[in-house]
Structure 1
Amino acid sequence: MTNPPTSSGLTGVAEAARQAPGRGLPPVHLWHPDHCGEIDILIRADGVWMHEGSPIGRAELMRLFSTVLRKDPDGYHLVTPVEKLKIAVEDLPFRAVAVREEGEALIFTTDQGDEAAAGPDHAIIVETDATTGEPAPRVHVRGDLWARIARPVFYELVERAQEADGRLAVRSGGVTFPLGPEGAGL
């Protein structure tokens, strides 16, 4: 027997995520329920998930919610076959907290356990703050969801980088990704 839905919508979201077969991700791109409102969940810029102003302490629950996360033109939502609840995200929903090399691919691991092999389907993009010059690197994870590359991971990329067309770049999956603008002293 399942728990009845709560007014917050958390039970329905958790139940839909649990029903994903194996460790695979639910097909949120196929679900188009009516918008049910907003839920007081915030993913802070530092990757901490908050609910009603308090950190969500259970990593399993955050992982569960991350599997039903989707970005639509009007923002980020937790989506089930019957519910669509808008949440707030300060920066990007995930953090790339590790990178490893497998063959000719750089494999990023996010704070929620997702893996993305940089290449044609998973770009690495480094934007630079016009005022401070500080790099803001990110890697594509899935759908329209991206992970902010953590500073230590970015330093690892810089250590692996080689010069290409006058800038530092890394190669992965047959694609060259510049790590900064031309002439940037990384």
Structure 2
Amino acid sequence: MKNKNLESFIDDISIFEEANTEKLPPVHKWKPEYSGKMDLIIDSQGDWKHDGAYFKRRSIVNLFSKLLLLEGNKYFLISPTEKWEIKVSVAPFVVVSVDRVELNSVPAIKCTTLTEQVFLIGKSHPIWLDNINSNDNAIPFTRVRDNLNAFFNRSSYYRLIDMALENKNKSRDEISIHSLGIDYPLGLTA
């Protein structure tokens, strides 16, 4: 996709910049025709680049992250009139911060993504372990919204492990994280 097309796409979705940042656009209701492939990649660190250059404006990345759609195994950047296929190396979101919180006296784990989405680990946002490829150890993932997932960056992963080790059941070798009344296994201790 040429830069002119990217500018056109930005103009097309600019109405959402003014909207409440907590409210997501209704991408599931939009049915534009397939527009082609855009040279836009979300790399293995969660950074976005177009035509080989990283985005410099975080506000554009945050806006675009609200316009992601997964159909089958293909990711799209979508507007009411355009639907561009993009490449995602691992997952479209990256959890960069993990904190313990309480919600009505119930312990929970709060996650924040690189694109500033905030949510609590629970039924709608479970944690599971998965391999990126056959050579890697399993890493934790979580659901951000719809069928879009996030992986945990190194520091947030270590923070999860620290939290799990603090609560480790001495009679078992498995560690898990507890949030909103649900235990999520994170693997075995050495």
Q: State whether TM-score is above 0.5.
A: yes
SS in 2 for 1:106: strand
* RMSD of aligned alpha carbons: 2.3
Q: What is the distance in 1 between the residues matched to 2:148 and 2:123?
A: 15
Residue deviations 1:41-77 (CA, integer Å, cap 9, x gap): 1000011100011111110111111111111114111
Give me the whole-angstrom Cα distance separating, in 1, the residues matched to 2:15 and 2:154: 34
Paired residue for 2:124? 121
Which amino acid is the alignment partner of residue 69 of structure 1? L
- CA distance in 1: counterparts of 2:58 and 2:23, whole angstroms: 17
Task: Call closer, same or farther: CA 1:15–1:130 in 2, change over 3 Å.
Answer: closer
Query: What amino acid sits opposite 1:63 in the alignment?
Result: N
Does residue 76 of the first structure (1) align with residue 75 of the second (2)? yes
- The verdict on how the C-alpha distance between 1:139 and 1:91 changes in structure 2, with shifts beyond 3 A counting, is same
Q: 1:99–1:185: structure 2 CA closer, same or farther, 3 Å change rule?
A: same
Q: How does 1:92-111 map to 2 (within 5 A)?
A: 92-103=91-102, 104-111=107-114
User: 1:179 corresponds to which residue?
Assistant: 186
C-alpha spacing 1:76/1:13, structure 2 compared with 1 (3 Å): farther
Which ranges in structure 2 are unaligned for 5 or more consecutive residues? none
| CA–CA distance in structure 2, aligned partners of residues 138 and 101 of structure 1 | 18
Please report how far the alpha carbon of residue 139 of structure 1 lies from its aligned counterpart in structure 2 after TM superposition.
1.3
Cross-structure match for 2:141: 138
Identity of aligned residues (%): 29
Structure 1 runs not aligned, ≥5 long: 1-5
Shift in CA distance, 29/55, structure 1 to aligned 2, threshold 3 Å: same
Q: Indicate conservation of the 8 Å contact 1:31/1:80, yes or no.
A: yes
Runs of 4+ in 1 over 4 A off after TM superposition: 128-133
The superposition leaves residues 110-137 of structure 1 with CA deviations (integer Å, 9 ceiling, x where unpaired) of: 0000012101110111125786562311
The alignment status of 1:43 with 2:48, answered yes or no, reads: no
Q: Is the 8 A contact 1:16 1:81 kept in 2?
A: no
TM-score normalized by the length of structure 2: 0.84
